[in-house]
C-alpha cells in the first residue's frame, strides 16, 4: 500500500470549534494542517443549537461563575471556571470581529436562557442554528497557512523518546504519515458510540484512544452528560434547552408538569432533568404553547417536527448521550502530560464542567481554551520513522454486534454485567497487521468503548485505574 508523507508545524486533529479556534489563532508563520475523519462540517459544533454563554453584558462574571459551579454541584474547578467566564466575556466581540452576527431584537442582543442559568446570557445565531452559522463564518476566515484535509482517519500518534511528533492513519483508503512539531487533539467526545445521542455519529472517542496510546493521562471518563430532550424519533436530534428557556415545559401525557417538584422546574440543571426523565414511566412532552414565534426562533426544531409529522405544540422527547466532561487531562494551556501533545474542546478535561456542564458553556470553552492552546503551542523537532500498527481482526457483523452491546451499557445508569461481558468479549479479539481504514476506524471505536468500560468498572471499585499497566496492556495488547 502506498504511503503519503506530509510535514507540518502543527497538526490539528478535528474540525469543530476547538480545532478552528486554534487554527485561527496560531501565528501565521506556522504551517498548520487540520485533518478530519469525514467532511469538515461533520462536527458537534455544527450541530450546536442553544448558543454561547457569556457574561459580556453583565457587570461582572460572578453570576456566571456561580451558575457554572452550581450546575456542576461544586465539582468543577473554581480557578478554571473563573478563567473560562472572565475570558469568555470577550467571546462575542471576538467572534463579531471574525464576522459572526449574533441575533438581535432591535438594538439589543436577543439573549436566550437555558437550564441552571440565573439569567438570559446565551448569545445565538439564526435561532437554534447557532453552530452551523458560527462554524460556517469562522471556517471561511481560516488563513492561508492553514491547510485542511478531509477524510483523514488518524489511528496512531508518532512518538520518539516519549514525545509526540506527528500522526499516521488513512487518507481515504491510502496510508498517510504526518510529521509535526506539535499535535493538537480536538476530536470531541464519545456520543457517536451509541445511537441515542445528540452527537454527530463520527464523534467516537478517537482522541482518548490516541492520547492513551501515547501515554497521556486521562481523567474522569465516566463524567458523561445526558441531555434530557432529544426528539423521541428513530434517529434522534437535539431539542434545545433554550426552548424551555423560552417558556416550554416538560409534561406527561395528561399535561402534568414532570419537573414540578424541582425549585427550578423545567429549567433545572441538565443532570437533574435527565435523571427524572429517564426514570419517568411514560412518554414526556415539551409543551410549547407559551413559546412565542416558535418557528421563527427555533427554525431547526420546526423543520424537524415537520419532517416527522409532529405537532410542534407538544413534542415527544427522551434523554440521550450528549457530552463527556472527563477526557484527556490538560493544564490551563491545553498541554497534556505528554510533550508535543495538546488537547482542547470536549476531548480535553479542563475542569470547567466538573460532573455536569452548564448549558452553552461548551462552545465557550472551545473558544477560550482554543485561544490559549494557540498561544502556548511550542514546536519541537520532528523526525520519526513509520511504525506499523495493528487493528482488531473482525467482520463488520461482529463490529456491529459490539456496537449494539455498547448501546446497552453506555446509558445514564451503566449496567455492570453488560460492561463486564463487553470487556470479556472484546478481550477475545485477535489483532492483524493488515489494517484497512475500516478496521482502523472500528478498532478506535472499540478501544474508546473499552477505555470507558474500564473507567466505569474502576468507578464501581471493580477494576484497576485505567492508567495502570494491566489495563493498558488489556486495551492495547
Helix (H, G, I), strand (E, B) or coil at 9: strand
Least distance in angstroms from the C-beta of 8 to ligand SIN: 32
Q: Are 443 and 392 in contact (CB under 8 A)?
A: yes
What distance separates the 2 farthest-apart alpha carbons in the chain? 66
Nearer to ligand SIN, 365 or 458 (CB): 365
| Cα–Cα distance list, 113 to 292, 359, 460, 476 (Å) | 14, 9, 36, 44
Nearer to ligand SIN, 241 or 272 (CB): 241
The Cα–Cα gap between 400 and 116 comes to 38
Cα radius of gyration rounded to whole Å, the chain: 22
Helices and strands in the chain: count of H runs, count of E runs: 16, 20
Which entry of 270, 318, 437, 450 is annotated as an active-site residue? 270
74 Cβ contact partners less than 8 Å away, ≥ 6 residues apart? 354
Nearer to ligand SIN, 31 or 244 (CB): 244
DSSP 118-133: SS--EE-STTT-HHHH
Least distance in angstroms from the C-beta of 309 to ligand SIN: 23
Q: Are 96 and 249 in contact (CB under 8 A)?
A: no
Nearer to ligand SIN, 200 or 359 (CB): 359
Nearer to ligand SIN, 242 or 457 (CB): 242
Cβ-proximal residue to ligand SIN, closest one: 50
* Signed CA dihedral, 220, 242, 38, 146: sign only: negative
Least distance in angstroms from the C-beta of 175 to ligand SIN: 36
Q: Are 54 and 60 in contact (CB under 8 A)?
A: no
Nearer to ligand SIN, 50 or 340 (CB): 50
Residue numbers at the binding site for ligand SIN (CB under 6 A):
49-50, 114, 238, 240-242, 359-360, 362
| Cα–Cα distance list, 344 to 57, 117, 238, 348 (Å) | 26, 24, 23, 5
Instruction: Give 214-257 as a 3 state SS string.
Output: HCCCEECCCCEEEEEEEECCCCCCECCCHHHHCCCEEECCCCCE
Least distance in angstroms from the C-beta of 52 to ligand SIN: 9
Nearer to ligand SIN, 238 or 277 (CB): 238
Nearer to ligand SIN, 169 or 228 (CB): 228
Least distance in angstroms from the C-beta of 197 to ligand SIN: 12
Least distance in angstroms from the C-beta of 242 to ligand SIN: 6
Of 170, 464, 434, 215, nearest in space to 336 by CA: 215
Q: Are 313 and 289 in contact (CB under 8 A)?
A: yes
Least distance in angstroms from the C-beta of 119 to ligand SIN: 16
The single residue listed with the C-alpha cell 454485567 is 417
Of 355, 327, 344, 328, nearest in space to 84 by CA: 344
431 is catalytic: no
The Cα–Cα gap between 128 and 124 comes to 7
Least distance in angstroms from the C-beta of 423 to ligand SIN: 30
Helix (H, G, I), strand (E, B) or coil at 137: helix
Tell me which residues are annotated as active site: 270
Amino acid at each position: 500500500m502506498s504511503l503519503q508523507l506530509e510535514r507540518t508545524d502543527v497538526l490539528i486533529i478535528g474540525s469543530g470549534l476547538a480545532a478552528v479556534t486554534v487554527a485561527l489563532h496560531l501565528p501565521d508563520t506556522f504551517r498548520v494542517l487540520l485533518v478530519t475523519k469525514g467532511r469538515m462540517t461533520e462536527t458537534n459544533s455544527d450541530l450546536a443549537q442553544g448558543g454561547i454563554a457569556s457574561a459580556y453584558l453583565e457587570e461582572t462574571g460572578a453570576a456566571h461563575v456561580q451558575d457554572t459551579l452550581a450546575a456542576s454541584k461544586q465539582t468543577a474547578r473554581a480557578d478554571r471556571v473563573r478563567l473560562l467566564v472572565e475570558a469568555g466575556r470577550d467571546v462575542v466581540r471576538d467572534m463579531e470581529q471574525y464576522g459572526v452576527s449574533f441575533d438581535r431584537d432591535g438594538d439589543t442582543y436577543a439573549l436566550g436562557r437555558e437550564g441552571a442559568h440565573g439569567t438570559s446570557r446565551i448569545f445565538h445565531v439564526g435561532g437554534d442554528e447557532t453552530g452551523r452559522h458560527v462554524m460556517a463564518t469562522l471556517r471561511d476566515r481560516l488563513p492561508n497557512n492553514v491547510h485542511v484535509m478531509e477524510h483523514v482517519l488518524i489511528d496512531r500518534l508518532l512518538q520518539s523518546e516519549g514525545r509526540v511528533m506527528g500522526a499516521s492513519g488513512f487518507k481515504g483508503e491510502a496510508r498517510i504519515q504526518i510529521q509535526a512539531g506539535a499535535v493538537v487533539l480536538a476530536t470531541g467526545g464519545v456520543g457517536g458510540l451509541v445511537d441515542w445521542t445528540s452527537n454527530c455519529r463520527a464523534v467516537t472517542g478517537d482522541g482518548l484512544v490516541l492520547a492513551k496510546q501515547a501515554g497521556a493521562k486521562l481523567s474522569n471518563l465516566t463524567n458523561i452528560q445526558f441531555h434530557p430532550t432529544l426528539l423521541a424519533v428513530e434517529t434522534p436530534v437535539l431539542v434545545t434547552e433554550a426552548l424551555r428557556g423560552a417558556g416550554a415545559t416538560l409534561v406527561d401525557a395528561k399535561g402534568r408538569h414532570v419537573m414540578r417538584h424541582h425549585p427550578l422546574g423545567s429549567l433545572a440543571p441538565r443532570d437533574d432533568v435527565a435523571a427524572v426523565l429517564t426514570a419517568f414511566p411514560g412518554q414526556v412532552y415539551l409543551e410549547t404553547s407559551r413559546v412565542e414565534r416558535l418557528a421563527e426562533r427555533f427554525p431547526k426544531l420546526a423543520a424537524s417536527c415537520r419532517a416527522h409529522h409532529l405537532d410542534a405544540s407538544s413534542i415527544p422527547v427522551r434523554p440521550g448521550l450528549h457530552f463527556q466532561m472527563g477526557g484527556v487531562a490538560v493544564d490551563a494551556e491545553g498541554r497534556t502530560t505528554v510533550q508535543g501533545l495538546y488537547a482542547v474542546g470536549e476531548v480535553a478535561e479542563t475542569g470547567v464542567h466538573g460532573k455536569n456542564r452548564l448549558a452553552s458553556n461548551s462552545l465557550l470553552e472551545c473558544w477560550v481554551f482554543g485561544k490559549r492552546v494557540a498561544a502556548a503551542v511550542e514546536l519541537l523537532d520532528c523526525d520519526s520513522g513509520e511504525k506499523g500498527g495493528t487493528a482488531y481482526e473482525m467482520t463488520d457483523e461482529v463490529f456491529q454486534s459490539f456496537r449494539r452491546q455498547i448501546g446497552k451499557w453506555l446509558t445514564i445508569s451503566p449496567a455492570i454485567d453488560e460492561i463486564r461481558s463487553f470487556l470479556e468479549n472484546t478481550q477475545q479479539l485477535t489483532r492483524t497487521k493488515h489494517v484497512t481504514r475500516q478496521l482502523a476506524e472500528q478498532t478506535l471505536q472499540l478501544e474508546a468503548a473499552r477505555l470507558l468500560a474500564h473507567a466505569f468498572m474502576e468507578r464501581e471499585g471493580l477494576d484497576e485505574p485505567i492508567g495502570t499497566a494491566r489495563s493498558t496492556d488489556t486495551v492495547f495488547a
